[in-house]
């Protein structure tokens, strides 16, 4: 299993990269359909870019979990990786913007891929080290589902704070 973990994680990075890229455009491609909004980027805010990382990573983890049933640590490792990836997007984005003062599109795109890569590498190391103890996988799955709900709720009931603000239009949410 240890040998195949790297391949699973590499595939996960590819799925997340492709899925996140597609989700970035899907809302516009579907004529701003409200039903896709909780899963797709609806503007260029940092929050919406976090959503692009969350959904493909979470859905891939659900599929992957069927093949990792014997790993009691699976969901705890995945939660840590997802939280790391979600955290890195605003940390890198706001740090970079604070230092340089602006953020070209290619840097914003690179931030997404870097965050995804680091998250999957981190998970790989945790899986291989086998040091994570997961006492309550159901609680972890509940936390991930709560994050999913927040992405949906904040798409339509968007708080007016910086992380939710579209830098291009100055608007929040849809």
In a domain, 171, yes or no: no
Confidence band for 2, pLDDT divided at 50, 70 and 90: low
Q: Domain tally for the chain?
A: 1
- The DSSP secondary structure of 34-99, one letter per residue, reads GGGTTTS--SSSHHHHHHHHHHHHHHHHHHHHHH-TT-TTHHHHHHHHHHHHHHHHHHHHHHHHHH
Q: Mind listing the pLDDT tens digit for each residue in 91-141?
A: 999 898 788 777 777 888 899 999 999 999 999 999 999 888 888 889 999
Give CA–CA dist 44/53, Å, rounded.
Answer: 14
**pLDDT of 77:** 95
In a domain, 169, yes or no: no
- HSE-CB at 12 with a 13 A cutoff on CA atoms is 31
**CA distances to 2, 8, 50, 58, 70 from 147, in Å:** 29, 23, 11, 10, 25
- HSE-CB at 93 with a 13 A cutoff on CA atoms is 26
Q: How many CB atoms lie within 10 A of CB 168?
A: 9
In a domain, 50, yes or no: yes
In a domain, 69, yes or no: yes
In a domain, 140, yes or no: yes
In a domain, 90, yes or no: yes
Give CA–CA dist 102/105, Å, rounded.
Answer: 10
In a domain, 173, yes or no: no
In a domain, 174, yes or no: no
Q: What is the pTM of this model?
A: 0.91
**pLDDT of 75:** 95
Long-range contacts, 96-105 (Cβ 8 Å, 24+): none
Q: Mind listing the pLDDT tens digit for each residue in 51-99?
A: 999 999 999 999 999 999 888 899 999 999 999 999 999 999 989 878 8
Q: How many CB atoms lie within 10 A of CB 143?
A: 15
Widest distance between CA atoms in the chain: 48
């Amino acid at each position: 299993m240890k040998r195949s973990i790297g391949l699973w994680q590499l595939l996960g990075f590819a799925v997340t990269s492709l899925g996140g890229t597609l989700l970035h455009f899907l809302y516009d491609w579907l004529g701003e359909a409200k039903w896709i909004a909780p899963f797709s980027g609806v503007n260029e805010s940092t929050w919406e870019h976090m959503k692009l990382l969350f959904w493909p990573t979470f859905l891939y983890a659900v599929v992957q979990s069927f093949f990792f049933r014997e790993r009691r640590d699976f969901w705890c490792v995945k939660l840590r990786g997802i939280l790391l990836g979600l955290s890195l997007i605003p940390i890198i984005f706001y740090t970079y913007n604070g230092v340089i003062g602006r953020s070209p599109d290619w840097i914003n795109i690179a931030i997404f891929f870097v965050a995804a890569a680091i998250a999957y590498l981190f998970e790989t190391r945790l899986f291989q080290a086998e040091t994570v103890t997961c006492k309550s996988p159901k609680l972890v799955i509940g936390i991930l589902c709560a994050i999913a709900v927040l992405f949906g709720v904040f798409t339509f009931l968007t708080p007016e704070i910086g992380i939710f603000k579209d830098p291009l239009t100055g608007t929040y949410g849809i």
